[in-house]
Amino acid sequence: MSLVSTSQRNSLPEHMSAALLPWELSSELHDLYKAYQEQFQPSGPAELELIEQLTMISFKRRRIALAERASHMATAQQRSSIERGDQVTRRALCADPSRDRSHTSSHEALKTDETADIRDKRDLADSLRRSETAIALLEDTSKEDLTSEALALLSDDTRAWWGDHKEDLEDSSEPLSQHLLSFLRVDVIPLLRNGLKSIQQRPLVRQQIHGESLDPTRLTILHKMDDRLARQFDQTLQTLERLQSGARRRRK
């Protein structure tokens, strides 16, 4: 017969809630607490106390994992720079002779991931294809003015950029189609091509900054703390199992 009341099983003790750090959710701690109770079915206050200890040890190990990631990301952020071709970027690309120029920054690489790379590459490649098609249309002198048709081919971003650019044009006898052609050749195409090169460089730069941001000393300290908690967990679990084993023998 269980000596643990239903209310004790269903509620999170106040002293456990009080141990939470500001960003931690009591619901997550409570869920873990209930999961251990369901697994071990404590039959008395001693067993319940051990369940509480197992819960808090597990939660503290989560904190260490979070601390390891947070510490690493903070260091990476401090090392990053918004300047294209910054020192981290140059170190990342120095081993590849084909990359004679840096088109990205460590900050840009750090704030993106593989999913963003795929999305950005797709969008830029589409804009480049549209712009090159529009250029071919404008270069065809055998046809009448096709400025409207060329504009319709452009991506929304490029078309919006052209709208801003057109407002700055000085009065000129030169046809608008020639202004658009020059804009696409001089401003748009180089930007899009450099953007694609930047995306290509991101993975190497991302790898470099994450590698440089690893702090072996800090990691060693965190891992020692986690090892100590793991031993505490094992000892607590063994104590609980001995208690429950003894209780089963007495009931026979």
How many domains, in total, are found in the chain? 2
- What residues contact 24, with CB distance under 8 A and at least 6 apart? 59, 63
59 and 92 share one domain: no
pLDDT at residue 171 is higher than 90: no
73 and 93 share one domain: no
47 and 147 share one domain: no
67 and 93 share one domain: no
Give domain status of residue 32, yes or no.
yes
> Does residue 3 or residue 124 have the better pLDDT?
124
52 and 151 share one domain: no
- Find the range with the poorest average confidence among 94-98, 146-150, 160-164, 227-231: 94-98
140 and 193 share one domain: yes
Give domain status of residue 103, yes or no.
yes
Give domain status of residue 242, yes or no.
yes
Q: Which domain range does residue 99 map to?
A: 81-213
Mean pLDDT to the nearest integer, 224-239: 98
What's the rounded Cα separation, in Å, for the pair 141 and 138? 7
Q: Are residues 25 and 59 in contact, defined by beta-carbon separation less than 8 angstroms?
A: no
233 and 170 share one domain: no
Q: Are residues 73 and 110 in contact, defined by beta-carbon separation less than 8 angstroms?
A: no
User: In this predicted model, what pLDDT tens digit does every residue of 31-41 receive, in sequence order?
Assistant: 999 999 999 99
Give domain status of residue 231, yes or no.
yes
Give domain status of residue 1, yes or no.
no
Mean pLDDT to the nearest integer, 119-147: 91
Give domain status of residue 146, yes or no.
yes
Kindly report the CA angle at 191 between 141 and 121, in degrees rounded to 5?
105
Predicted pLDDT of residue 1: 47
What is the largest distance, in Å, between two alpha-carbon atoms of the chain? 105
Predicted pLDDT of residue 111: 96
Q: Are residues 202 and 108 in contact, defined by beta-carbon separation less than 8 angstroms?
A: yes
Give domain status of residue 163, yes or no.
yes
21 and 44 share one domain: yes
Predicted pLDDT of residue 226: 97
pLDDT at residue 66 is higher than 80: yes
Give domain status of residue 159, yes or no.
yes
Q: Which two tokens stand for residue 200?
A: 């290509």
169 and 238 share one domain: no
